[in-house]
Amino acid sequence: MPIQYYIYLCLTLFSIGIIGVLTRRNAIIVFMCVELMLNAVNLLLVAFSKMHHSVGLGAEGATSQAGIDGQLFVFFIMVVAAAEVSVGLAIIVMMYRNTHSVDINFLNRLKN
């Protein structure tokens, strides 16, 4: 499968994530869009790792481990994402407790 396809796909997903961050006011949804971005990245990483792996295969045969680091990186990204989610949701809940709202447009006590 040509790598460009994957790139386009992931960039699309990534940009959709960005657009989500920009267009939604619900903190949770915004956060979900960030997760969407991360997933796009993950997919792209895997794709790249397979691409580099193919080169490795060509070079040193079936035993090649080339490109495995990409997939491991994905693993770490998932770990971090999980940690982030736990903290992030905690913060959002705390916010909700005090304001009974998750609307980021109301976050304007601090400005100028």
Partner 1 sequence: MSTTEILFFLLSALAVFSAIMVLVSKNPVHSVLWLIAVFFAISGHYILLNAQFLAIVNLIVYAGAIMVLFLFVIMLMNLNAETEPQKHIWMKFAGAISGGCFLLMLVSLTRQAVEMGGRNAISGGNIGLIKNLGKALFSDYVVPFEITSVLFLSAMVGAVVIGKK
Partner 2 sequence: MSKLVFLVPLFPLLGFLVNGLGRKSMSKTMISVVGSGAILASFVVSLVLFFDVKANGGSVTTLFNFIEANSFKIPFAFQVDQLSSLFLLIITGIGFLIHLYSSAYMHEEEPQHFGRYFSYLNLFVFSMLLLVLGANYVIMFIGWEGVGLCSYLLIGFWFKNNNYNYAARKAFVMNRIGDLGFLLAVFWLLFKLGTATYGDVFAADNLSKLSSFDITAITLLLFVGAMGKSAQIPLYTWLPDAMAGPTPVSALIHAATMVTAGIYMIARSNILYTMAPATQTVVAVIGLATAIFAATIALKQNDIKKVLAYSTVSQLGYMFLGLGVGAYTGAVFHVMTHAFFKALLFLGAGSVIHAMHHEQDIRKMGGLKKYMPITHLTFLLACLAIAGIPPFSGFFSKDEILTASYSANPLYYYIGVAGALMTAFYMFRLYTLTFLGKFRGTHEQEHHVHESPWQMTFPLIILAILSVIGGLVGIPEVFAENAHSLEHFLAPIFAESAKIAEHHHLEKSQEYLMMGGSTAAIIIVIIFAVNSYKKYQATEEENAGVSKVLENKWYVDELYDAVIVNPLNALAGFFKNIIEKSGIDGLVNGVGRLVGYGSRQLRLLQSGQVGNYILIMVLAMVVFFLIWFNDVSIVQFFNKIF
Partner 3 sequence: MNAIIVSALLGVVMMFSGIMFKNKTTYTAIAVAGLLFLLVANLLNSYGIYVIHVDTHFLLNFEQFGMFFNSIAIAATLIYVLLSGKAIEKMGVSVADHYALIFFVLCGVSILSSFNGLLMLFLGIEIMSIPLYILTGADKRNLKSNEASLKYFLMGAFSTGIMLMGITLIYGGTGSFTLGIDKSLSAGGLIPRTSFLEIAGLILLFVSMCFKVSAAPFHFWTPDVYDGAPGVFTSFMATIVKAAGFIAFVRLFDQHTAALGPSWRLLLGFVIVATLLIGNITAVFQQSVKRMLAYSSIAQAGFMLFALYGANDMAKEGILLYASAYCLATIGIFSVLIKMKDYTFDGFNGLAKTQPVLALATTICLLSLAGIPLTAGFFAKYYMLASVVKAGGSLGIVVIAVLFAAVSVYYYFRVIQAMYFKDGDAEASDVTTGYKVGLLLLSAFIILTGLFPSIILGWFYF
Q: Does 91 bind partner 1 (CB under 8 A)?
A: yes
**Would you say 27 and 21 are in contact if contact means Cβ atoms under 8 Å apart?**
no
**Cα(90)–Cα(42) distance, integer angstroms:** 24
Contact track, partner 3, 2-21, x by CB under 8 A = -x---x------x--x---x
**Cα(74)–Cα(78) distance, integer angstroms:** 6
Q: Does 95 bind partner 3 (CB under 8 A)?
A: yes
* Cβ partners under 8 Å of residue 104, min gap 6: 25, 26, 27, 30
Contact set for partner 2, span 28-47 (CB under 8 A)? 30
Q: Tokens 């997760």 identify what position?
A: 35
Q: Identify what 4 binds: partner 3, partner 1, partner 2, none; CB under 5 to 8 Å per kind.
A: partner 1
Closer Cβ to partner 3, 57 or 77, answer by number = 77
**Cα(22)–Cα(17) distance, integer angstroms:** 9
Closer Cβ to partner 3, 9 or 52, answer by number = 52
Q: Identify what 59 binds: partner 1, partner 2, partner 3, none; CB under 5 to 8 Å per kind.
A: none
Near partner 2 by CB under 8 A: residue from 22, 59, 62, 82: 22
